[in-house]
Amino acid sequence: MIVPMKKAAILAQSKDSEQTIQKLRALGAVHVEHQNAPKGKDTGLLLEDIALLEATLAVLAQPDLGTMPLQTEKTPLDWRFTVRHLLGLRNRLNQLKDYSFRLQGKISQWERWGDFNPQDIQALREKGVYIRLYQIPFKEIKKMPVGVIVKKIYAAGGVDHCVLISRQDVEIPFKEVALPKMGLGALRARFSDNNRAIKLIREDIRKIVPYRKALSSIKDSLEEELEFHNVLNGMGRCGEVVYLKGYIPFDAVELLRQSAKVEQWGISISEPGPKDRVPTLIRNPRWVSVIKPVFKLIEIIPGYKELDISLWFLIFFSIFFGMLVGDAGLGLSFLALTFLANRKWGPGLRDKSIFTLLYISSFCTVIWGVLTGTFFGQEWLPQWISPLLPALRNDRNIQTLCFLLGAVHLSIAHGWRALVKLPSAAALAEAGWICILWGAFFLAKVLVLGYAFPVIAKWLFIVGGSLVLLFTNPSKNIFRSIGSGLGSLLLNLVNSFTDVVSYIRLFAVGLATVAIADAFNKMAMEIGFSNIFTGMLTALILLVGLLLNLILAPLSVLVHGVRLNVLEFCNHADVKWSGFAYNPFKKKVKG
């Protein structure tokens, strides 16, 4: 749920401003809203230092530098000198890499011309021997003036690349190739020297890797100091009084009151106004909070006055995951991979919710695979492996189930909105949309699957449309109410049908996953295990098919499973993801 927030204002004497900020940071509950732009000399210097450290850590994070054992970690005597030295090495390395790239291009350009010294050609020119390089069309090669010797070097694209030798500076009506500044041998020697310099600089940079952890800690400390100065410089001032405004969770208000009493602050606690930008703090039971990694991945936060859909997101995301992957074999593979990842990286993580989410999603995939009898594809399975629910092997039944899930999912969104609007009559409009959604469910069955149109569907549209017309914006003026409802109905009626139909993607993508497995299974079984060679080839094909599905299946969940929750469901729940996270001013936890 989204935690209710209170608007807080804290007043203190100007001489106590720094002490006030320190106490507020120790309290760690107020999301500060700056009253002035937090500018200052200290702020600028800190920003410069942080930028230097960020650039340094980016260089030290490059994978080709490798990792250092923990016992080699070091603390620099002068971190600024170390950072500037490293960034200088980085700049020199980039220059050398760019020069190597250009040298490689030159070498590729002149390799087919062969090795020669351009200075020798220039010396011969001064003695009356003209040697020039030309690109001449093949058909024109025999039309050279008298006294010009033509030596063909190589041909490419119908053009001969030639050396022309003459005693006179003869005009040739073809494209002349300018001589390089150095010969091929010199280019290769320069390229080799350049690469040796790159290697040496990389070694110098690698020697700084042991300082990475210490530099990261320094950066964290500077960021904390920067935040302190931003809050200090962002305080409002009125004579000898400084003041600070922000937002605090309702259950931390008493803690702020007690601190104000001890520190002799003046405080004001009020409800946020309609124009206030209130941060969003979400608290859910631990089992619901496992969905947080998905929200972090796609970087979405509901607005303070919007709905927290975490519970419904978790429930339907898990169902969608199972249907989109749709294979018990893949589900077991994901379970095994999650277990191994948890063993390897779990102990070092404070928040292990990602593993819990993957366990739940993988388990749902196994359940769906068992219900449908799908295990690494299905064509190769022996007869004794049969689906627990044979009806789910019928495409028409699964498509009906997809439409049913869509109607249920979107009805929950409107039902939730109706509860929020109670006791207002506007809640009846949400009931109307639920009727329309179920009418759209029956219409989808008619248009897509060929079922007969039931009478109840007609009454669902009639009743639902009437409720939307009359109660979308209930008013004493009946004509104004109907006008508002008519606009909403015209804008969203077709969308309601298409949103229900869009859930058929669960069937289509799940079918594609099984089809990929079947295709690789068939290829593998055609080769068989008649000997060692064919057995190895068959195993390789099966492994490639498995790896392909292990990669594509999670992508399909991110694209389609997340979309149905974030777009279709949230559009109907009127969640626009317009919020920003509650970020209290506090000491950062290290480690």
Measured distance CA(484)–CA(385) in Å, rounded: 57
Which helix (H) or strand (E) segment holds residue 160: the answer is strand 159-166
Residues near 490 by Cβ (< 8 Å), separated by ≥ 6? Answer: none
Which pLDDT value is given to residue 590?
56
Contacts of 226 by beta carbon, 8 Å cutoff, 6+ apart: 43, 46, 47, 50
DSSP per-residue string spanning 373-406: T-SS-STT--TT---SSGGGGSHHHHHHHHHHHH
User: Tell me, what's the pLDDT at 384?
Assistant: 56
Structural contact between residues 471 and 429, judged by C-beta atoms closer than 8 angstroms: yes
Q: Residues 96-131, buried b or exposed e (16+ Cβ, 10 A)?
A: beeebeebeebeeebeebeebeeeebeeeeeeeebb
Distance CA 440, CA 499 (A): 9
pLDDT score for 564:
93
> Residue 591: its pLDDT value, please?
46
Strand-pair partners of 524: none
Whether the bond into 69 is cis, omega within 30 of 0: no
Look up the pTM and report it.
0.77
Cα 381 versus chain centre, distance: 38
Q: What is the pLDDT along the chain (591 residues), one digit of tens a residue?
A: 899 999 999 999 988 888 999 999 999 999 999 888 777 777 888 899 999 999 999 988 887 765 555 456 788 888 999 999 999 999 999 999 999 999 999 999 899 898 899 999 989 988 889 999 999 988 888 778 888 898 999 998 889 899 999 988 888 888 899 999 899 999 999 999 999 999 999 899 988 888 888 999 999 999 999 998 889 888 888 888 999 999 999 999 999 999 999 999 999 999 999 889 999 999 999 889 999 999 988 889 999 999 999 999 999 999 999 999 988 889 999 999 999 999 988 887 888 899 999 999 999 999 999 998 888 876 555 555 678 888 888 889 999 999 999 999 999 999 999 999 999 988 999 999 999 999 999 999 999 999 999 999 999 999 999 998 888 887 767 777 788 778 888 888 899 999 999 999 999 988 888 888 888 878 877 787 777 888 888 888 888 888 888 888 888 888 898 999 999 999 999 999 999 999 999 987 654
In angstroms, the CA 30 to CA 11 distance is 14
Tokens (6 digits) for 172:
């040739």
Contact 579, 306 (CB under 8 A): yes
**pLDDT for 498:** 93
- Say how far apart CA 33 and CA 6 lie, in whole Å: 13
- Which tokens belong to 298? 């796609």
Closest CA to 280 of 307, 257, 253, 256: 307
The pLDDT of residue 301 is: 93
